Structure 1
Amino acid sequence: MKVRNTAIAIGIGAATAAGLSLLKVNKDFVVGTTAVVVGAGLMISLKDKNDLSLKGRNYEYFFNRAQDKFELADYEEAILDYNKALELSPTEICLVYSMRGNAKRNLGDLDGAISDQNKALDFDPLYADGYFNRGIAKFKKRDFDGAIEDYSQVLKINQKDSDAFFNRANVKKEIEDMKGACTDWKKAAELGDEDAAKLLEEYSE
């Protein structure tokens, strides 16, 4: 299974909206991570600008420190900092919940991981990584039908997500739906996934 972790650097300046820039990086890490740089904006509606600045700096500090700890596989400490970031955040941010869920998944707390991805999706029902990450946790719990549903939801949001095709294929292989697995590996391969192409060649008749 391919995993998707989100490496995020957050810089909070003035309380204005800023766009999200998404790009894949680090090809050596099972699947490319999603690097998100959030500049300035979280649309914080606090009256006191000094409070806004202090709260923003503290949130930024704990969140970025959690990301550093996650990258070092120090998941327990990362979770503590994600918790603090959520306490300080001006709004419930799906990225924080999803990353905390990934840390819990890596510690073997699959129910906690699913719960956090649910919270991320409550905040943004179109957050594809939430479904993707929840699918991984469900797969590890052997909830194969649930995992397939989550990867299918990712593909409704983005029909060119080769990682979702790849993982859904692997789930189908697990339940011995080889025809369905080969169909998904083929789609992933057409989107440039070399691992999928190798598995397609190995398992297709």
Structure 2
Amino acid sequence: MRTIVLLIYISLLTSFLQAQDSLAEFVYGNHELDSFVLDNLVRPDECLKYGIDFNIDLSFVVDTLGAVAYVNIIYTEPTFKKWSEKFLEKIDALKPYVEQEVIRVIKSTSGFWFPSEINGKKEKQIFHYKILLRTPEFYTKGGNFRNTGMDGVNAPYYIPFDVPYTNPIKYYNLGVKKLTQKKYFIAIKYFQHSIELGNQSVDVYYNLGSALLLNNQKVEACEAWKKALELGDDEVKELIEKYCVKKDGKW
């Protein structure tokens, strides 16, 4: 009887320990990876102009530090409307660009991952990922049109492979979006990238400081707010006085 009870206990303990194992996970959940990819991907105007979408299946490795490596495209399948068939040669030209863009964005997620853990030890993991890159549409009484953001006639034939998104305002706006969603870690990264791209507004430093504080990084938050103060943001003084330590008579 004791043997049976002991075996049951061992079985339950083994199940509990196995339950502690975890797969690699993107910060705030793997569903947030979709949002990150779609927010950061540069879509060719040709996709918008000719109504071309792409299903992409890929794999990559998340290492023990949460870094990403060995991004591999498994397959890319274009989808398009019947009226787009006459543009097949354009689809072939767009495919390698879209693949390189997806690889660029996935690589940029390094540091955004919680690594896999097995038996309490961090391990590398191959992560499989599928995404549909669908171009936006808008509707009017007269029909359905692709939202090209332009006249749909003079769109460039392609976007060069070596042109990533370099608009600091885009990343500032993404930071505000993630800040309101309480996804502070990603908001911080977006604000910092906006600054790296040349954004020196008081707003970006004010919001960076807010995101850092909410992410329990008070020292870094104070540094961001001090920069906002140097740039002429008097409203930030109240936050500095409340959260920051004064040294040698200076904040």
TM-score normalised by the chain length of structure 2: 0.34
Report 1 or 2 for greater relative contact order, CA contacts < 8 Å, sequence distance ≥ 6: 2
More strand per residue: 2
TM-score normalised by the chain length of structure 1: 0.41
